[in-house]
Structure 1
Amino acid sequence: MKLGIIDDEWICSFLAQKLIQKVVPDSEISHFKNGLEAIDFMKQNRLSPLSLPEFILLDINMPVANGWDFLDMLNDLEISNYHPVIYISSSSQDPEDIAMAKKYASVKGFLPKPLTPFKLAGVLDNIGE
């Protein structure tokens, strides 16, 4: 499984990567420090959607391009046959952020930080259902 972590906080990305490796040991994980970095990667690989992450953990608050910017840019890319499962991973419990996440069809849920193996396993086990 190809997974993407879009988060500017090194420690959060590192912990998410370690948790993913425990839950899905044979996964390929890409890390991006902000939404623009992730979009640039997707633009470069848009002709081969199988090389793009199937599952994305997306932080909201990042410099350069935040999570909402990323989602808008991803929608604008219109990559054929590419429909990643996206979960917002944030320490925010703001009802406005949770409501905003529901406006994007690609966002399947909201995972509050800190992530745990139990939370992540529950989400990853349900992919494809």
Structure 2
Amino acid sequence: MNKKSLIYFIIAILLVAGGSLLAVKGKDAVGRAESRKQAVLEAVPNTIANDTNHFYADFYIQESQIQKIKAGKRVKVHFPYIERSDEVEGVVASIASAPQFAALRMTREKGQADLSMYAVRITIDANAELLPGMTAEVDLDEIAD
């Protein structure tokens, strides 16, 4: 084996080992995507047109992560498409008592089952930058007990 082949072989081994470690710790791209949830911002219905004090967003959380969330808990909500992307504090208003639907996994390897998804409603105080229909995002890894 020449030097060039040996170097490529060592690099390949390091990449495989590093990827395996990240996957075990849940820090791979799929693990990060599963902990970041997105929802659409909606206005709380009000009797006066164009006058809203609160917004809400319904997030769908996997049954394995629902234990982190409690009603009344304050959470950071991020709006990725607002230029000044400050986080806004929201409050968990409600958690569905039963799963809303099951997300089918792409594979059934290693005994993986379908994931039951629970609806979690987070209310957010209105401000000048927020509009109904905007994308709201929460990171479940940031929610501490």
* TM-score bracket for the superposition, by shorter chain length: under 0.3
**Structure holding more strand per residue:** 2
Higher relative contact order (CA 8 A, sep 6+): 2
Using structure 2 for the length normalisation, give the TM-score: 0.22
The structure with the largest helix share of the pair is 1
